[in-house]
């Protein structure tokens, strides 16, 4: 059998890659361990969140699918950071877990040119430095002109609960055991990371009256530009709630650390810093009296609740004991206990910015395999890998977005240029352009690219261009009438400013929101861009004195402090390039250096 593109794995990265290739006109085969487990959310039943919501809107603007599936499956939508600036506002949608997977599976099934095969890929066929196909477990070969590998947490995966270990990439799923060896034989380096998930609780055993309710947005905006506003949201809302751990919970954890897989040394892989296990939290933040727990129902027909914040690999009896110390969970019953999973990842510095491997032509890697963490990070990579596999086969120029165009571009650039030393989570602070990379303008930044590659129809691309033009025209009109200064004042809205203006255009609520943000941010954006360009070449000339005490830089995150102390960069430029040192962290470093070592800034040009 032969095809154009083979996608290995149909998780969040694989679904986007496979759909993109098929929609770009290529015969595509997606191979996955279990066809009934396509697009499964392995951990929390939610899409979006800070920076992740940005990625989803960017993916949607380019013609990806995740946003639409989340709209169909959403049971609770909230805008995070609603009281903060527009740049950090982010959408988070709690989903009906089954409905999400079902929506994606139906989209795949209905997609012409896309075939889903169940099986395990155990080897890659390579001829003259280019991939030419794959071998499946039973020895069957499949030829393909490009291969996208999106194997997630499954390569040589081991699950840990307390002292018990078993092979498996996710509860209920086997591990993929052959492909790691195949990748090594081709000369790829592999490393080991781990991640974990909390217990699943029975909804009726929770005393919801003792938890704080978490209301969703009363009239949420869909994630996808393709979801009709009318009739949205289509699914009944489900209540979410908040509770907290306490001293007693922490004591049980501390008393039992020796039985956690993490602390016995059974797990060697590093875990995600921004999604730590509860064992990690009580150890690393020993002074914190409590940690927040979000209770998220897994779906209208599911008896399960996902307690976000309680990921653990402690033995089952210890999990039950600490859960029952939490307010509202005193009588909780557990349907499935939490566990950790350790898996192989491929350091992403082995990739080109297109996500094609440097070593083998036509072979692309995307998703958690590249050392990232999270559905949204995986999906964005899957989409871009699929697009570039497709463009390559069509003989067209690759799509490599600039860091000023998308958070997704920052994600890819960080991966392929700086690499990862722990599971990589996207954050808005990683971008030096975050003021312009807002959820609200993803459409204007990226839809034309989606149009160029053929994932967005010409009509959709034109519509977005017309909407962007409407904002620009109105900003110019206000400027000509000297109204822009007034619009930048706190409390002044566009509606109040033009209430009696007979020439005011008709603008929908989203456009008005974007117009007001553009007007308010314009000055800051200009200043920030000019300053950043000037600074880049200065950074490499500013020498940091040997023995500089990184631990004393105030306000630095634990991640940045640890890494700077360990790597001891000798110039500001080097410090900027340390993985985990965000533009925000760099500003703190510069403020401290200016105060404590002012002489280092007096350098000859
Ligand atoms: C226990 C657990 C806890 C997690 N906790 C978190 C968390 O707290 N926060 C967070 O952000 N993320 C978490 N994740 C990670 C999250 O699930 C991933 O980020 C996301 O699913 C990655 O998407 P992906 O497409 O790269 O891979 P996956 O969704 O893992 O999909 C991989 C796909 O590849 C298939 N596959 C693998 N090998 C082969 C092969 N050789 N042949 C054929 N098919 C193959 C599998 O069947 C699967 O369909 C957790 C994952 C697990 C398992």
Predicted confidence (pLDDT) per residue in 529-552, tens digit? 677 666 766 887 888 998 899 999
Nearest CA to ligand 1 atom 53: 170
More confident residue, 219 or 361: 361
* Predicted local confidence at residue 462, as pLDDT: 96
Beta carbon of 152 within 6 Å of any ligand 1 atom: yes
For residue 437, how many other CB atoms are within 10 A of its CB? Answer: 24
Residue 36 and residue 183 share a domain: yes
* Predicted local confidence at residue 252, as pLDDT: 95
Q: For the domain that residue 577 is a member of, what is the CATH number?
A: 1.10.150.570
* Cα(511)–Cα(488) distance, integer angstroms: 16
Looking at ligand 1, which atom is closest to the CA of residue 368? 26
Straight-line distance from the first to the last Cα atom of the chain, in angstroms, rounded to the nearest whole number? 62
Phi then psi dihedrals of residue 33, to 5 deg: -60, -40
Beta carbon of 142 within 6 Å of any ligand 1 atom: no
Residue 89 and residue 24 share a domain: yes
448 inside domain:
no
Q: What percent of the chain has pLDDT over 70?
A: 97
* Predicted local confidence at residue 351, as pLDDT: 94
Nearest CA to ligand 1 atom 46: 9
483 inside domain:
yes
436 inside domain:
no
Q: Is the pLDDT of residue 203 over 70?
A: yes
- For the record, the structure tokens of 226 come out as 């393709």
Looking at ligand 1, which atom is closest to the CA of residue 382? 25
Looking at ligand 1, which atom is closest to the CA of residue 122? 41
Residue 359 and residue 307 share a domain: no
Phi then psi dihedrals of residue 246, to 5 deg: -145, -175
Instruction: Pick the last residue of a domain from 310, 339, 368.
Output: 339
Nearest CA to ligand 1 atom 12: 374
Which single residue is written with the structure tokens 């999106």? 150
User: DSSP string spanning 144-193?
Assistant: EEEEEE--TT-BT-EEEETTEEEE-SBTTBPPB-SHHHHHHHTT---EEE
Average pLDDT taken over every residue of the chain: 92
pLDDT, average across residues 288-303: 94
128 inside domain:
yes
Beta carbon of 256 within 6 Å of any ligand 1 atom: no
Buried b (16+ CB within 10 A) or exposed e, 331-350: ebebeebbbbbbbbbbbbeb
Q: Which of 195-204, 265-274, 418-427, 514-523 has the lowest mean pLDDT?
A: 265-274
* Predicted local confidence at residue 58, as pLDDT: 98
* Predicted local confidence at residue 4, as pLDDT: 98
pLDDT, average across residues 42-55: 95
* Predicted local confidence at residue 264, as pLDDT: 65
Residue 210 and residue 327 share a domain: yes
Residue 157 binned pLDDT confidence (cut-offs 50, 70, 90): very high
Instruction: Pick the last residue of a domain from 508, 531, 554.
Output: 531
Cα of 438 vs its chain's centroid, Å: 15
- For the record, the structure tokens of 186 come out as 């081709």
Give all strands of the β-sheet with 292-297 in edge-to-edge order: 212-214, 240-244, 292-297, 304-308, 200-202, 334-336
Residue 98 and residue 25 share a domain: yes
* Predicted local confidence at residue 579, as pLDDT: 80
Q: Is the pLDDT of residue 569 over 90?
A: no
Q: What's the 313 CA to ligand 1 centre distance in angstroms?
A: 18
Residue 44 and residue 171 share a domain: yes
Instruction: Pick the last residue of a domain from 279, 313, 339.
Output: 339
* Predicted local confidence at residue 571, as pLDDT: 85
Q: Which residues contact 247 (CB under 8 A, 6 or more apart)?
A: 289
Q: Is the pLDDT of residue 149 over 60?
A: yes
Which single residue is written with the structure tokens 């255009």? 505
Residue 545 and residue 527 share a domain: no
Q: Which value, in Å, is the radius of gyration of the alpha carbons in the chain?
A: 25
Nearest CA to ligand 1 atom 8: 275
Residue 577 and residue 494 share a domain: no
pLDDT tens for each residue of 239-293: 899 999 999 999 999 999 888 766 666 667 787 776 788 988 988 888 899 999 9
Q: What percent of the chain has pLDDT over 90?
A: 69
Residue 366 and residue 510 share a domain: no
Beta carbon of 313 within 6 Å of any ligand 1 atom: no
Beta carbon of 453 within 6 Å of any ligand 1 atom: no
SS3 label, residue 213: strand
Asked whether the beta carbons of 545 and 597 are under 8 A apart, the reply is yes
User: DSSP string spanning 95-152?
Assistant: E-HHHHHHHHHHHHHH-TTEEEEES-EEEEEEETTEEEEEEETTS-EEEEEEEEE--T
Nearest CA to ligand 1 atom 16: 374
Q: Which residues contact 291 (CB under 8 A, 6 or more apart)?
A: 244, 245, 278, 281, 282, 285, 309
* Predicted local confidence at residue 185, as pLDDT: 97
pLDDT, average across residues 38-46: 94
Residue 570 and residue 482 share a domain: no
Q: Is the pLDDT of residue 605 over 60?
A: no
Q: Is the pLDDT of residue 146 over 70?
A: yes
* Predicted local confidence at residue 113, as pLDDT: 98
* Predicted local confidence at residue 262, as pLDDT: 66
Looking at ligand 1, which atom is closest to the CA of residue 369? 26
Q: Which residues contact 539 (CB under 8 A, 6 or more apart)?
A: 571, 572, 573, 576
* Predicted local confidence at residue 537, as pLDDT: 66
Asked whether the beta carbons of 211 and 330 are under 8 A apart, the reply is no
Nearest CA to ligand 1 atom 17: 42
380 inside domain:
yes
Q: Which of 79-88, 124-133, 211-220, 455-464 has the lowest mean pLDDT?
A: 79-88
* Predicted local confidence at residue 288, as pLDDT: 92
Residue 163 binned pLDDT confidence (cut-offs 50, 70, 90): confident
207: containing domain: 200-339
* Predicted local confidence at residue 208, as pLDDT: 96
446 inside domain:
no
Beta carbon of 440 within 6 Å of any ligand 1 atom: no
Residue 265 and residue 214 share a domain: yes
* pTM of the shown model: 0.89
435 inside domain:
no
306 inside domain:
yes
Verify cis geometry, omega within 30 degrees of 0, for the bond prior to 357.
no
pLDDT tens for each residue of 303-334: 999 999 999 989 999 999 999 999 999 999 99
Beta carbon of 42 within 6 Å of any ligand 1 atom: yes
SS3 label, residue 334: strand
Count how many domains the chain has: 4
Residue 371 and residue 335 share a domain: no
Phi then psi dihedrals of residue 82, to 5 deg: -60, -30
């Amino acid at each position: 059998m032969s095809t154009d593109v083979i996608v290995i794995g149909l998780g969040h990265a694989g679904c986007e890659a496979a759909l993109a290739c098929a929609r770009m006109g290529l015969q595509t085969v997606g191979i996955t361990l279990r066809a009934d487990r396509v697009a499964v959310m392995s951990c929390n039943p939610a899409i979006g969140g800070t920076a992740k919501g940005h990625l989803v809107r960017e993916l949607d603007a380019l013609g990806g699918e995740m946003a639409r599936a989340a709209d169909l499956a959403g049971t609770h939508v909230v805008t995070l950071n609603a009281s903060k600036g527009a740049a950090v506002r982010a959408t988070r949608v709690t989903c009906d877990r089954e409905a999400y997977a079902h929506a994606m599976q139906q989209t795949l099934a209905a997609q012409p040119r896309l075939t889903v095969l169940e099986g395990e890929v155990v080897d890659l066929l390579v001829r003259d430095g280019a991939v030419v196909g794959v071998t499946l477990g039973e020895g069957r070969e499949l030829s393909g002109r490009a291969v996208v590998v999106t194997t997630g947490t499954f390569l040589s995966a081991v699950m840990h609960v307390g002292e018990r270990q078993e092979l498996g990439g996710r509860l209920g799923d086997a591990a993929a055991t052959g492909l790691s060896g195949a990748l090594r034989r081709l000369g790829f380096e592999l490393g080991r990371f781990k991640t974990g998930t909390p217990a699943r609780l029975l909804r009726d055993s929770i005393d919801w009256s003792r938890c704080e309710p978490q209301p969703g947005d009363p009239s949420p905006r869909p994630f996808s530009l393709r979801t009709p506003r009318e009739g949205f949201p289509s699914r009944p809302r489900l209540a979410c709630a908040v509770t907290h751990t306490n001293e007693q919970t922490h004591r049980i954890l501390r008393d039992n650390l020796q039985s956690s897989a993490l602390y016995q040394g059974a797990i060697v892989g590093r875990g995600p810093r921004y999604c730590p296990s509860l064992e990690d939290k009580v150890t690393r933040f020993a002074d914190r009296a409590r940690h927040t727990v979000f209770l998220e129902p897994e779906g209208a027909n599911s008896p399960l609740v996902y307690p976000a914040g309680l990921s653990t690999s402690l033995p089952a009896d210890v999990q039950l004991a600490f859960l029952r110390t939490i307010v509202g969970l005193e009588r909780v019953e557990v349907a499935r206990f939490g566990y950790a999973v350790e898996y192989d990842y491929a350091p992403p510095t082995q990739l080109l910015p297109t996500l094609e491997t440097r070593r083998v032509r036509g072979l692309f890697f995307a998703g958690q395999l590249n050392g990232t963490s999270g559905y949204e990070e995986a999906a964005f990579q899957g989409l871009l890998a699929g697009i570039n596999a497709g463009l390559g086969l069509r003989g067209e120029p690759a799509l490599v977005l600039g860091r000023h165009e998308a958070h997704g571009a920052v994600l890819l650039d960080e991966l392929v240029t700086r690499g990862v030393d722990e599971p990589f989570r996207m954050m808005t602070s990683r971008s030096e352009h975050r003021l312009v990379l807002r959820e609200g303008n993803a459409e204007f930044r990226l839809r034309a690219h989606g149009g160029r590659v053929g994932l967005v129809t010409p009509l959709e691309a034109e519509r977005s261009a017309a909407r962007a033009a409407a904002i620009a025209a109105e900003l110019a009109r206000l400027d000509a009438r000297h109204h822009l200064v007034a619009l930048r004042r706190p409390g002044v809205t566009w509606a109040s400013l033009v209430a009696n203006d007979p020439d005011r255009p008709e603008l929908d609520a989203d456009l008005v929101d974007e117009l007001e943000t553009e007007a308010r941010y314009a000055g800051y954006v200009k200043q920030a861009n000019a300053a950043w360009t000037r600074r880049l070449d200065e950074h490499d000339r500013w020498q940091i004195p040997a023995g500089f005490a990184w631990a004393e830089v105030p306000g630095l995150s634990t991640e940045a402090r640890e890494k700077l102390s360990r790597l001891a960069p000798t110039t500001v430029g080097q410090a900027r390039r340390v993985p985990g040192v965000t533009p925000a962290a760099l500003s703190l470093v510069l403020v401290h250096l200016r105060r404590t070592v002012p002489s280092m800034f007096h350098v000859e040009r």
